[in-house]
Amino acid sequence: MKIQGTMKTWRYGLMLVLLCICSISGIAGAGTAPPIPIGPLDANLQPATPDYYTTANWANSPPLAKFVDTLPGLGSTKANNLGQYLSVAKPDIVTYPGSDYYEIELVEFNERMHSDLPLPGTKLRGYRQTNFGTDTSACGGQLQPPCDANFNTVAPDPVHYLGPNIIAERDRPVRIKFTNSLPAGSGGDLFIPVDTSVMGAGTGPAYMGSVRGEGTPCDNTIEPNTCASYTQNRADLHLHGGRTPWISDGTPHQWITPATEATPYPNGVSVYNVPDMPNPGRDPPQGSQTFYYNNQQSARLLFYHDHAYGLTRLNVYAGEAAGYVITDNVDDDMINGTNNTGVNPTAAIVLPDVGIPLIIQDKTFVDPVTMPKMDPTWEWGTGGFFGPVATIALGSGGHGYSSPP
Query: What is the domain partition of the chain in residue ranges?
Result: 14-31+58-329, 376-405
CA 279 to chain centre: 23
Q: Per-residue pLDDT for 380 more than 70?
A: no
Q: Per-residue pLDDT for 51 more than 70?
A: no
Distance between first and last Cα of the chain: 64
Phi, psi (deg, nearest 5) at residue 316: -70, -40
The per-residue pLDDT for range 141-178, each reduced to its tens digit, is 999 999 999 999 999 999 999 999 999 999 999 999 99
Could you tell me which of 160, 161, 83, 73 has the C-alpha nearest to residue 355? 73
Contact of 167 with 88, CB cutoff 8 Å: yes
Correct CATH for 14-31+58-329 of 2.30.30.180, 3.20.20.80, 2.60.40.420, 3.40.640.10: 2.60.40.420
Q: Per-residue pLDDT for 405 more than 90?
A: no
The per-residue pLDDT for range 170-205, each reduced to its tens digit, is 999 999 999 999 999 999 999 988 888 888 888 777
Strands 122-129 and 100-111: antiparallel
The per-residue pLDDT for range 77-121, each reduced to its tens digit, is 999 999 999 999 999 999 999 999 999 999 999 999 999 988 999
CA distance 234 to 99: 28
CB neighbourhood size of 342 (10 A): 8
The per-residue pLDDT for range 282-318, each reduced to its tens digit, is 666 689 999 999 999 999 999 999 999 999 999 999 9
pLDDT in the model for residue 205: 73
The per-residue pLDDT for range 17-26, each reduced to its tens digit, is 333 333 333 4
CA distance 343 to 215: 62
The model's pTM:
0.79
